[in-house]
């Protein structure tokens, strides 16, 4: 089902040529292993498959447009790298600042917000 969805989005050839067939199938398996409600982190995909940041976000935006994913923003401390636990749907929902629960640093939210994706429809 996922391979068909990727093909319909016209990104399967791009992913396949960038990764090779074996890695493309592994990429599809990783996506397929995620269930609705789980989080997908662009950095993990970038690291695991060697995509550029632009490629990762292009793929994820395409999957979001097709209704598989929903973008959110997660606050992460730039001092100790700990996620704050705050996740919002829209960037305008971010607080002005937040305090890290681990290192107690007070940081501007907009500069410490990372785009992540929630799976809304199973692959």
The number of domains in the chain is 1
Q: Can you give the residue range of the structural domain that contains 112?
A: 35-123
How many other C-beta atoms lie within 10 A of the C-beta of residue 68? 23
The answer, yes or no, to whether residue 74 has pLDDT greater than 60, is yes
pLDDT at residue 86 in the model = 94
User: What is the rounded CA–CA span in Å between residue 84 and residue 99?
Assistant: 8
Inside any domain, residue 121 = yes
83-88, strands of its sheet edge to edge: 39-40, 113-119, 69-76, 83-88
The answer, yes or no, to whether residue 113 has pLDDT greater than 80, is yes
Inside any domain, residue 64 = yes
Inside any domain, residue 102 = yes
Question: Model pTM?
Answer: 0.81
Average pLDDT of 13-22? 64
Highest-scoring range by mean pLDDT, 12-21, 28-37, 110-119: 110-119
84: three-class secondary structure by DSSP: strand
User: What is the rounded CA–CA span in Å between residue 86 and residue 74?
Assistant: 6
Inside any domain, residue 20 = no
What is the tens place of the pLDDT at every residue in 40-72?
A: 999 998 888 888 888 888 888 888 888 889 999
Inside any domain, residue 85 = yes
Inter-CA distances, 113 with 21, 31, 90, Å: 34, 23, 11
């Amino acid at each position: 089902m996922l391979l068909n969805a990727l093909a319909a989005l016209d990104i399967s050839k791009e992913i396949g040529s960038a990764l090779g067939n074996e890695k493309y199938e592994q990429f599809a398996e990783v996506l397929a292993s995620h269930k609705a409600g789980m989080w997908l982190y662009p950095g993990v995909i970038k690291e695991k498959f060697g995509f550029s940041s632009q490629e990762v976000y292009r793929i994820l935006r395409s999957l979001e447009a097709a209704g598989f994913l929903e973008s959110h923003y997660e606050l992460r401390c730039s001092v100790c790298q700990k996620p704050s636990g705050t996740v919002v749907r829209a960037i305008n929902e971010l607080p002005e600042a937040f305090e890290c629960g681990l290192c107690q640093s007070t940081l501007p939210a907009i500069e410490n917000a990372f785009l992540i994706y929630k799976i809304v429809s199973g692959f």
